Amino acid sequence: MSVEAAAGAASPEHGAGEAFNVGEFLFHHVSDSNSLELPFVGEVHLPVLQLGPYPLPITKHIVMMWVASVMILALMWVATRRRTLVPKGVHNVMEIMVVFVRDELARKNIPRNPDRFVPYLLSTFVFILMCNLLGIFPYAATATGNTGVTAALAGLAFIMIQAAGMREHGVAGYFKSLVPHGIPKWLLPIMLPVEFMGLLTKPFALCVRLFANMVAGHFAILALFSLVFLLQRAWVGAVLSVPFALFISGIELLVIFLQAYIFTMLASLFIGMSVHPSH
């Protein structure tokens, strides 16, 4: 969340006629909702689609993922519409990103046929990066600050990890490789549940790490602006809230790129471990 958006959200209207509720203020601006706040328009309620008997509500974070996807497709179109021997502009940026994911993530972490996984890793990296970047703009939101979104990304990573291992070693060979060689047979009832739990902890760690890091920055900025209304002192905003919020916003820009890199790097590392098990 940008400083401008946070400052606008923490308007005195929230405290008029009633005590300022910090918890309600924080969770209202971080959690998902069924409406969008647009400039010059105000609050726009999103529709609820119907798939047979099941309602499919369109939420703010879903809209942000659609926006991120459209922006990625637009960048790809701009980058590839004029191909030259010497890449320039957006083409150059996209080429740098592709080479970085291929050379620094796929080829360094996946020992066998790493280029096969570059499309998945590149798509994951760019999508997370774009969703993270949208959160710093006013009236937008960070879709990766939703556990449903990060769980879906982690679920896709889990499928890729298992599929890569099974394709390399076969279904039976892959599950056999999960148990260390040479252990006594009486330990198998203990080791098998532990190893299966290990398969689940990897995507769980990916899900929680991305969610927690993206929400933490927003909470910190909003909490700083809340101090103005809690202490009811204007100088708090000038001396403490705004300077520190600007500082945290700068750090958050670094976190935006870092979290996209960490998620993709760990996904490639787990794929490499399944393709070439250590035991």
123: confidence class by pLDDT, cuts 50, 70, 90? very high
pTM to 2 decimals?
A: 0.82
Q: What is the DSSP letter of 105?
A: I
Q: How far is CA 68 from CA 35, 45, 72, 75, 227, in A?
A: 18, 20, 6, 11, 33
Q: How far is CA 153 from CA 66, 76, 97, 132, 261, in A?
A: 15, 21, 20, 14, 14
154: confidence class by pLDDT, cuts 50, 70, 90? very high
What pLDDT is attached to residue 236? 62
Give the number of other CB atoms < 10 A from CB of residue 14. 15
Give 64 or 192, the one with higher predicted confidence.
Answer: 64
- Report the b/e string of 75-103 with b at 16+ CB within 10 A: beeebeeeeeeeeeebbeebeebbeebbe
CA 118, CA 264: separation in Å to the nearest integer? 10
Residues 6+ apart with CB under 8 A from 120: 156, 160
CA 109, CA 107: separation in Å to the nearest integer? 6
Q: Which of 16-20, 108-112, 166-170, 213-217 has the lowest mean pLDDT?
A: 16-20
User: How buried is 217 (Cβ within 10 angstroms: 0-12 exposed, 13-18 middle, 19+ buried)?
Assistant: buried
Is 109 within 8 Å of 176 (Cβ atoms)? no
What are the residue ranges of helices labelled H in the chain?
Answer: 3-9, 22-30, 60-80, 89-100, 107-109, 118-134, 147-169, 171-177, 188-231, 234-236, 242-275
Residue 137 pLDDT exceeds 80: yes
44: confidence class by pLDDT, cuts 50, 70, 90? confident
Query: DSSP readout, 76-88?
Result: HHHHHSS--SS--
